[in-house]
Amino acid sequence: MSIPLTAKGAERLRELVSRLKSVDRPQVIAAIAEARAHGDLSENAEYHAAREQQSFIEGRISQLEFVLAEAQVIDVSLIESANRIVFGATIKLLNLKNEIEVTYQIVGEEEANLNLGLISVNSPIARALIGKELNDEVQVHAPGGVNEYEILDIQYI
């Protein structure tokens, strides 16, 4: 099973793993040591919170390392599909209901971040866009209802 990631997304995940290992993990280990110094661990809320945080960090590191090991890293700038939307495309859309323009890039599940305009290849809008061309109108069936968009621009950057 390969996991699609853009080259930029894979680099961001590598940086996150590095930060978790070199900054967050040592901080939580220090917090555990400090909480242990306070004595009775059975009723020590700081200790239990730090252990929970440590468990979260270790789980996240394992998850990200698995994703990176299984990743199929795609250099978006090398894609030559200028008029058809595929993984990695940056698409400018016009919402036909409210005339608002939005821009999204279709990326892998682990690198998706709607606040940055990065949508998962598995999201309803990405699934509706894949294979479409410039100036096509697309209906997106989302949990909030049906939205209609016109494709204004497709780029691979």
Name the CATH architecture for the domain at 76-155: Roll (3.10)
- Provide the residue ranges of all domains of the chain, joining segments of one domain with +: 3-74, 76-155
Q: Give me the percent of the chain exceeding a pLDDT of 70.
A: 99
| pLDDT-derived band at 121, boundaries 50, 70, 90 | very high
What residue has token string 């239990």? 48
Q: Phi and psi (nearest 5°) for 122?
A: -95, 0
Q: Identify the pLDDT of residue 82.
A: 61
Tens-place pLDDT, residues 36-68: 887 777 777 888 899 999 999 999 999 999 999
Domain 3-74 class in CATH: mainly alpha
Model pTM score:
0.81
Burial-class residue 69 by CB neighbours within 10 Å (0-12, 13-18, 19+). Answer: exposed
Q: Identify the pLDDT of residue 151.
A: 96
Nearest to 121 by CA among 88, 148, 151: 88
Above 90 in pLDDT, residue 76? no
User: How far is residue 154's CA from residue 157's CA, in Å, rounded to a whole number?
Assistant: 10
CA dist list (Å): 45 to 36, 58, 85: 11, 20, 51
